[in-house]
């Protein structure tokens, strides 16, 4: 057994080691960057970089399962947390294209007894401007999350909280709004959230390793989640998967998320009017963002060193992620990690932008030190 473990670790380190003969190429630099982040027996990353519909770099580093020395590969399945929100937003826009709802509709049309529901629009839910209180930071939330729940029960809890502000007057990142949107997708379509996404997005795009995460799914190539503490990596805080809905329920792989991004940005998922709406930042002064940055429908819209950056991070205990697109360069980066928190120098947001620095160095403006690193982690205590 010891010899098997030594061999496994050697293979893992070899897979993560930079190619000496290609050290000055972008792929070689990406190799070296990853190798410098992973220590022996660490959880890891799956990373994909693509441009113009061609994969330029794809690699796994670290361990998907530390207890059994299983390495991360590009086929490893990770939970993606709040990156789910762009799928929920796209589902709402798809239903709007089909004439089944409008983003101008009031919340009360779908949940008649929701407090002040006649003041809240679906657009405000999509853009985090509804004022509805985010259920996840509530003080009593963490004492209940190990037990299973239902969407109806969670919405019942959301109804009890007072609004943070009047609808449409401010911006605050809000998981509750996307929980409500996921419920509305089910109510309007007559399908479960997962079945609607599968029929309209996953199957048409060939996303065979993406779906709603539930307990005891028994997925092949599934990564185990970890959390960095004072004594190294251990088991994360446990939240029953039923607490995640339209705000953060999905699992996926780097290949499937690449297919998704190619489908979205090449008009194979939504029409031009829907995409324009999704990628238009909400007109709101937002302290977390600098000028020109904001939130559309399920995507953050930023500028990174002079280039348009449309992306979203995600996190649940044990997992963190980022899916990034520089649309004018047709450039995509996918980072999936099975640790949350990870080591301080291994944040997926930072790592994805370091990949941008490597591959698009000649197209980037000089770096400016600004506070654009708003990277929401869903339901992290």
Quick check: is 97 in a domain?
yes
By C-alpha distance, which of 325, 263, 307, 251 is closest to 81? 251
pLDDT digits (tens, 9 = 90+) for 36-91: 999 999 999 999 999 999 999 999 999 999 999 999 999 999 999 999 999 999 99
User: CB 327: neighbour CB atoms within 10 A?
Assistant: 17
Residues 210-234 have a mean pLDDT of 94
State the average pLDDT over residues 305-334.
97
The radius of gyration of the chain's CA atoms, rounded to the nearest angstrom, is 20
State residue 367's pLDDT score: 83
CB neighbours of 74 closer than 8 A, spacing ≥ 6?
46, 48, 58, 59, 60, 253, 254, 255
Between 52-66, 115-129, 206-220, 367-381, the lowest mean confidence (pLDDT) is in: 367-381
pTM of the model: 0.90
* Residues 126-156 pLDDT 10s: 999 999 999 876 666 677 888 999 999 999 9
The confidence score (pLDDT) of residue 288 equals: 47
Asked whether residue 75 is assigned to any structural domain, the reply reads: no
CA atoms of 329 and 92, how far apart (whole Å): 27
User: Residue 231 and residue 270: Cα distance in Å, rounded?
Assistant: 47
What's the pLDDT at 19? 52
The pLDDT mean for the chain works out to 89
Number of structural domains (the chain) is 1
Any domain includes 342? no
Q: What 3 state SS string does the chain have?
A: CHHHHHHHHHHHHHHHCCCHHHCCCHHHHHHHHHHCCCCCCCECEEEEEEECCEEEEEEEECEEEHHHCEECCCCCEEECHHHHHHHHHHHHHHHHHCCCCCCCCEHHHCCCCCCCHHHCEHHHHHCCCCCCCCCCCCCCHHHCCCCCCCHHHHHHHHHHCCCCCCCCCCCCCCHHHHHHHHHHHHHHHCCCHHHHHHHHHHHHHCCCCCEECCCCCCCCCECCCEEEECCEEECCCCCCHHHCCCCCCEEECHHHHHHHHHHHHCCCCCCHHHHHHHCCCCCCCCCCCCCCCEECCCCEEEEECCEEEEEEEEEECCEEEEEEEEHHHCEEEEEEECECCCCCCCCHHHHHHHHHHHHCHHHCCCCCCCCCCCCCCCCCC
161 in a structural domain:
yes
Is 204 among the domain residues?
A: no
Using the predicted structure, report yes or no on whether residue 289 has a pLDDT greater than 60: no
What pLDDT does residue 210 have?
98
Higher-scoring residue by pLDDT: 99, 216: 99
Average pLDDT over residues 230-253: 94
Q: Look at residue 116 and tell me if it is in a domain.
A: yes
Interval 156-167: pLDDT, tens: 999 999 999 999
Establish if 94 belongs to a structural domain. yes
In a domain, 166, yes or no: yes
Q: Which carries the bigger pLDDT value, residue 368 or residue 149?
A: 149
CATH of the domain at 159: 3.40.710.10
| Percent of the chain's residues with pLDDT above 70 | 86
Q: Note down the domain range covering 161.
A: 84-193
């Amino acid at each position: 057994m010891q010899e098997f473990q030594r061999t496994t670790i050697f293979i893992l380190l070899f897979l993560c080691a930079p190619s000496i003969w290609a050290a000055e190429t972008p792929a070689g630099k990406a190799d070296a960057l990853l190798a410098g982040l992973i220590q022996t027996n660490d959880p890891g990353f799956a990373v994909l970089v693509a441009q113009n519909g061609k994969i330029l770099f794809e690699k796994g580093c670290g361990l998907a399962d530390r207890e059994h020395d299983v390495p991360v590969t590009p086929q490893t399945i990770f939970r993606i947390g709040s990156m789910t929100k762009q799928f929920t937003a796209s589902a709402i826009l798809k239903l709007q294209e089909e004439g089944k709802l409008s983003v101008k509709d009031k919340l009360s049309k779908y949940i008649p007894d929701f407090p002040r529901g006649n003041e809240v629009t679906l657009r405000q839910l999509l853009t985090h401007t509804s004022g509805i209180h985010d259920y996840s930071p509530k003080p009593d939330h963490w004492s209940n999350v190990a037990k299973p729940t239902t969407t109806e029960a969670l919405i019942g809890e959301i109804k009890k909280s007072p609004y943070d502000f009047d609808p449409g007057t401010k911006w605050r990142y809000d998981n509750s709004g996307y929980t409500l949107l996921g419920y509305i997708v089910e109510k309007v379509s007559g399908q479960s959230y997962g079945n609607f996404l599968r029929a309209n997005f996953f199957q048409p795009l060939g996303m065979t390793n993406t779906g709603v995460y539930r307990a005891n799914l028994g997925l092949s190539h599934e990564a185990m989640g970890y959390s960095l503490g004072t004594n190294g990596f251990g088991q994360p805080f446990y939240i029953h998967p039923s607490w995640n809905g339209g705000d953060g329920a999905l699992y996926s792989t780097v290949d499937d998320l690449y297919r998704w991004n190619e489908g979205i940005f090449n008009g194979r998922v939504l029409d031009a009017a829907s995409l324009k709406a999704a990628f238009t930042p909400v007109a709101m002064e937002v302290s977390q963002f600098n000028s020109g940055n904001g939130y559309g429908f399920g995507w953050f819209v930023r500028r990174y060193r002079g280039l348009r950056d449309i992306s979203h991070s995600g996190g649940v205990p044990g997992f963190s992620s980022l899916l990034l697109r520089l649309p004018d360069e047709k450039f995509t980066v996918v980072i999936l990690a099975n640790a949350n928190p990870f080591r301080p120098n291994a944040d997926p947001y930072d790592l994805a932008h370091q990949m941008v620095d490597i591959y698009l160095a000649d197209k980037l403006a000089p770096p400016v030190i600004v506070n654009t690193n708003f990277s929401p982690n869903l339901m992290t205590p």
